[in-house]
Chains A and B, each alone.
Chain A
């Protein structure tokens, strides 16, 4: 019915959609032209523009907000110190809605409309996987801060790089020995039933077996699940520890229901803080986590032995000693991941300087310069710690932290070595054409 009405309206006015589009296109062309010429003539004075694919809405919105704050803090410092190759850095933000389809559109928009130099900043693994082909086709560098194994697996393309945060495969390999010797040998895995959870499922088991441990049960949970009690009967009674990694707003329910189900008799817990990023550990219902352990990329709570670089970074981003915003103690950060944005921007800076980057025509040189990197030293540019970088799989490797929940705060009790997480590379992006 509605369609018929539209048809009539169009016919009666004598204006077809095609004519309208032609007119609009011509007008847009006229407006774009002079600007474009000016840009290419005065290139050296123009800022370097980075397209920030940000989870402003959707399930990743809490991460997105902190990724944006960290990015802005790092960009401010870089610009105050003279920018990159004498040019200021400018961030163009587009919201991807934490949605893979929208993610690919955003990459295209960055390349064709905003004409940025590169794209950066994505976290959620399904958005990275969905956007990567677009980045490859458009030959635009795509620096992600995602921690999924998809970059290192070699399944993406040569334009996708993850230089700021260790991938899940290396993370689980780093923590497996500690779990086997400190918590128990029989573990039940609880993980979200999609790419990110599957990385945990696929890599923890083998790494744990090498340490003499055994995964006694696996519980995949659909990502939209809101109630968990029904899954707990599947946890075998002889389980020493539950290894849980859940992402999404339902995690508080998960912990609370686990507490109700097991009471004080339950197995020990080892979790990935991903579940509780941006969530206050003092939230009602989380008391059950007291005494359990978590993986953290970078510690949320300021540790007594924190480095000067770490303190500098926390002050610049604006988080207090509890890892919450200095302006609002209830606004808890995603500290275990967002350092990756900071470090990635400094890697981009270093790579652009090494490649003497001038503009989009140097994108291939930028990729090659990044691939040539091998080590990042700890310091203000890398406050989480030193890292190694493998140019073949476009992935960095760093230290991981294991923290104990004590008085509803996280205390780092073990810091893994970089070697703990290293694995045999399964791919070589450098053999792919640019």
Chain B
């Protein structure tokens, strides 16, 4: 295959990865930014989103698009509810102490994973894409659904950005992120903001999972990779910075796509992790993160 089409394929693959990564990492970044909680169970919320998508779409017969659209709405809602309950029952009782919440979310990770294994089973199960015609390029074919994933992700990131910067909810979140105590003194219900943010973070991961599940399959161990990559993205972009997270996701997604097509996937991972190390040494707050106060 000639260099041009080869590069096009690599870029497309990289963008699909970046699209999913941006949404997942955004959730992680939001939770850390506002609550200062490192949510190790974030990948499991992603997995739960995918598994629920399979469950919802398997309940609906007829046109696959109906099942998929229903999953796109129902699955994030259920995942958000699970996150809300675990926030109330676990994180809140630990007073959001950083060390305790890390251990608690590790526990949550295993609980969710093993429950899914018990009730859903060890198989990888597919969800039918809402539409799936093959775009025939002169050099290779490509899935139209993958292009739709990129578009949907851009829309969702824009929507998140709009909520955070242009609405009252966003204002309250940003106030809590800036200084929780002062925000509380000004009458911001910090406690409820925390609950909402944790649920929202999990829902973003779930949406990303529903988008990816017609391409990959729902499997109970699928949460690990997105978790690691989200951490990489969030560290590079700067914890709590929305812009940084999106830029870093595109950067990591594209470099992974292009490097693994032209060289090897292992090299792509090596470069991404070395980049994390360099960022931590030379710019610990991340590319776009603010200095910690």
Contact = CB atoms under 8 A, between A and B. Distances in A.
Contacts of A233: 1, 6, 9, 140, 261
Contacts of B6: 233
Nearest to A226: B216
Interface residues of B, number: 35
A279 B143 CA distance: 23
A260 B141 contact: yes
A257 B12 CA distance: 13
B221 A230 contact: no
Q: Name the residue in B10, B16, B124, B222 with the highest tally of chain A Cβ atoms < 10 Å from its Cβ.
A: B124
A230 B124 contact: no
A61 interface: yes
Contact of A261 (B121, B140, B216, B222): B140
A250 B1 CA distance: 25
A263 interface: yes
Nearest to A230: B261
Contacts of B168: none
B122 A57 contact: yes
Interface in A172-196: none
Contacts of B128: 284
B174 to A, nearest CB: 31
A250 B117 contact: no
Given A222-B266, A229-B9, A250-B124, A59 B141 contact: no
Interface in B187-224: 215-217, 219, 221-222
A113 interface: no
B107 interface: no
Nearest to B217: A252
A285 interface: yes
A312 interface: no
Interface string B115-126: 001000111101
Given A227-B17, A229-B13, A230-B13, A2 B99 contact: yes
A57 B110 CA distance: 12
Contacts of B114: 57
Nearest to A262: B141
A57 to B, nearest CB: 6
Contacts of A232: 140
B142 A278 contact: no
Nearest to B143: A260
Interface string A257-296: 1011111000000000000001100011100000000000
Nearest to B219: A249
Contacts of A250: 124, 216-217
Contacts of B221: 58-59, 249
Contact of B117 (A2, A57, A279): A57
A415 interface: no
Contacts of A284: 64, 126, 128
B103 to A, nearest CB: 9
A226 B212 CA distance: 11
A250 to B, nearest CB: 7
Nearest to A235: B1
A225 B265 contact: yes
Closest 9 CB pairs of A and B: A61-B122, A249-B124, A249-B219, A230-B261, A233-B1, A284-B128, A62-B122, A260-B143, A263-B141
Given A251-B124, A253-B217, 19 more contacts: A57-B117, A57-B122, A61-B121, A61-B122, A62-B121, A64-B122, A226-B222, A227-B216, A230-B10, A230-B265, A249-B217, A249-B221, A249-B222, A250-B216, A252-B124, A260-B143, A263-B134, A263-B136, A284-B126
